Structure 1
Amino acid sequence: MTPHFPERMTPLGPINWIGFYTLFAKEVRRFLKVWLQTVAAPVISTLIFMAIFALSLGRTGRVMGGVPFEQFLLPGLVMMTVIQNAFANTSSSLVISKVQGSIVDILMPPLSPWELALAYVGGGAVRGMLVGVAVGAILLAFTPVPLHAPATALAFMLEGSVMLSTIGVLTGIWAEKFDQSTVITNFVVTPLSFLSGTFYSIDHLPAALHWVAVINPFYYLIDGFRSGFLGGGAHGLPVLAALTAANLALLWWAQHLFRIGYKLKA
């Protein structure tokens, strides 16, 4: 007779740690196997951004936010890289699995919806933070920037990587082909990251456009991360608490879609 397990139980216990770790490790190894594409390429792209802006504006002695432009730009570029890579990892992984038909191999094992969501999000967050740390280490070698509050910078980097990794999961579940996933990348993630104060202070925006930055959640991620280096900014426990609440809501939504099998089960 087949034993009956309550909804939250798996044959391996209340939490299937082995299955969770296996899926998480799979996601990490997936992007590490092609590290030239997933780690080295974003690092090089960000270095090119830094070089272009430093050569075009940095030598003019331009000041932004009360500091030299290169110091202002560096944290923004790092967080932008974290955002884009965390999103790309989870969205591409799920879309590839659906297109290849291997998503059934993920859904069949005794993994709960929360375990599935957290394993995917964890893998994406690792990639985002790994690329961010690599970019930051290389840029700091050429452009020294003071580290005002390391814990603040780390907290905002973690919040950003988890948020965009979860949004990537939601996108991957919704998208049925790569074209749909690319739409979110090109028309949501990239514009929001570029218009979030990465390359400029929002104080320089016309008053009529100031609201565009204020309603952009990426602005608070980048500004908070920058404050960990330079001080000031819209950082602090209230902003971190709001970002944490938003991440928990996104994670609940992701596990709910896994639970109901939205666009995952035939």
Structure 2
Amino acid sequence: MASTQDMGVRRFGRVNWLGMWTLAAREVRRFMAVWSQTLAAPLITAGLFLAVFNLAIGPSRGDVMGVPFIEFLAPGLLMMTVIQNAFANTSSAIMVAKVQGSIVDTLMPPLSPLELLLGYLAGGVGRGLVVGGVILLGSVLFLGTGVAHPLWLLIYVILGSTMLGSLGIIAAIFANKFDQMSAISNFIITPLSFLSGTFYSIDALPPVIRTLTHANPIFYLIDGVRFGVLGVSDSSPWLGLLVCLATTGAVMTMCWRWFKSGYRLKA
């Protein structure tokens, strides 16, 4: 009769809940320990964006999609901040570990590729949810915005955090130096975030650029959060949900495969 080990069942069960929980808790504690940088700074940055745009063009700008411009802007800034922080959390965790040589401390314990992925993503999603919650609270208190569809808002914030958290893992595994990591962030993530309808409705764009925008998955994240907060959107939230689920599934699968093979992680 085959032993339990021969059947591929680890001595602590098919899922290492303790190990995965420990990694997730470490990632959450890591960003909470420097809350002034990871939580307070994004709130201040989003507030500055709103203040500058409101002072510069807010009074002279008419309604956008039937809502005041400053209210239209708030959900886009919320999601842009969420995804940037989710990306930063996972990418910095792995990049620092690789540069310091401590990545082996995470790879050595009996954690499967999926458990490693979920553990790292817990930090990115947790940071995204906390940052999003703080900015949403600020929008409600200072702008008087409500939440039209809370469930849609929560779904898109979790999806956005998961998608960009996974992209952060991919970027950190691929990069060998902080310069390469900065290049990925500056030339890929930031442009995709800014050109996703955060500051404008895509109806104002020329047809060719509007079509290209629809190929940007971050556009659907921004649009979905706007629908969740304001109840208006440039595209169907169901279409956005489908695109975001497919994109998130694809990047998570790539993360899993790289963790499984040890690509650029194992010497």
TM-score interval for Structure 1 and Structure 2 normalised by the shorter chain: over 0.9
Q: Sequence identity, in percent? A: 48
Q: For 1:162-215, what per-residue CA distance to the aligned partner results, in whole angstroms no more than 9, with x for missing partners?
A: 100010011111111111111111011111110101011111112232123111
Q: Secondary structure at the match of 1:9?
A: coil
- 1:247 equivalent in alignment to 2:248: yes
Q: For 1:235-254, what per-residue CA distance to the aligned partner results, in whole angstroms no more than 9, with x for missing partners?
A: 43343133223212221211
Q: For 1:140-169, what per-residue CA distance to the aligned partner results, in whole angstroms no more than 9, with x for missing partners?
A: 211112321111111111111110001001
CA–CA separation in structure 1 for the residues paired with 2:72 and 2:7: 50
CA–CA separation in structure 2 for the residues paired with 1:163 and 1:8: 30
CA–CA separation in structure 2 for the residues paired with 1:53 and 1:239: 27
Q: Secondary structure at the match of 1:208?
A: helix
Deviates more, 1:190-199 or 1:139-148: 139-148
In the alignment, is the contact (CA less than 8 A) between 1:28 and 1:123 conserved in 2? yes
Match of 1:122, as an amino acid?
Answer: A
Deviates more, 1:166-175 or 1:134-143: 134-143
Residue 264 of structure 2 is matched in structure 1 by 263
Residue 130 of structure 2 is matched in structure 1 by 130
Q: For 1:60-93, what per-residue CA distance to the aligned partner results, in whole angstroms no more than 9, with x for missing partners?
A: 2521112100110010000000010000000011
Q: Secondary structure at the match of 1:250?
A: helix
Residue 43 of structure 1 is matched in structure 2 by 43
In the alignment, is the contact (CA less than 8 A) between 2:160 and 2:221 conserved in 1? yes
Residue 115 of structure 1 is matched in structure 2 by 115
- Return closer, same or farther for 1:41/1:7 CA change in 2, 3 Å cut-off: farther
In the alignment, is the contact (CA less than 8 A) between 2:90 and 2:168 conserved in 1? yes
In the alignment, is the contact (CA less than 8 A) between 1:47 and 1:139 conserved in 2? no
- Return closer, same or farther for 1:121/1:152 CA change in 2, 3 Å cut-off: same
In the alignment, is the contact (CA less than 8 A) between 2:220 and 2:243 conserved in 1? no
CA–CA separation in structure 2 for the residues paired with 1:145 and 1:207: 31
Consecutive unaligned residues in structure 2, runs of 5 or more: none
Q: State the aligned residue count.
A: 264
Q: Secondary structure at the match of 1:197?
A: coil
- Return closer, same or farther for 1:6/1:261 CA change in 2, 3 Å cut-off: farther
CA–CA separation in structure 2 for the residues paired with 1:6 and 1:230: 55
In the alignment, is the contact (CA less than 8 A) between 1:95 and 1:178 conserved in 2? yes
In the alignment, is the contact (CA less than 8 A) between 2:167 and 2:251 conserved in 1? yes
The 5 A counterparts of 1:19-98 are 19-60=19-60, 62-98=62-98
Match of 1:244, as an amino acid?
Answer: L
CA–CA separation in structure 2 for the residues paired with 1:190 and 1:69: 22
CA–CA separation in structure 1 for the residues paired with 2:140 and 2:6: 52
CA–CA separation in structure 1 for the residues paired with 2:69 and 2:112: 47
Match of 1:115, as an amino acid?
Answer: E
Q: Secondary structure at the match of 1:60?
A: coil
Q: Secondary structure at the match of 2:75?
A: helix
- 1:237 equivalent in alignment to 2:208: no
Match of 1:151, as an amino acid?
Answer: L
Residue 195 of structure 1 is matched in structure 2 by 195
CA–CA separation in structure 1 for the residues paired with 2:8 and 2:230: 45
- Return closer, same or farther for 1:225/1:94 CA change in 2, 3 Å cut-off: same
- Return closer, same or farther for 1:165/1:18 CA change in 2, 3 Å cut-off: same
Match of 1:88, as an amino acid?
Answer: A
In the alignment, is the contact (CA less than 8 A) between 1:65 and 1:201 conserved in 2? yes
CA–CA separation in structure 1 for the residues paired with 2:154 and 2:200: 22
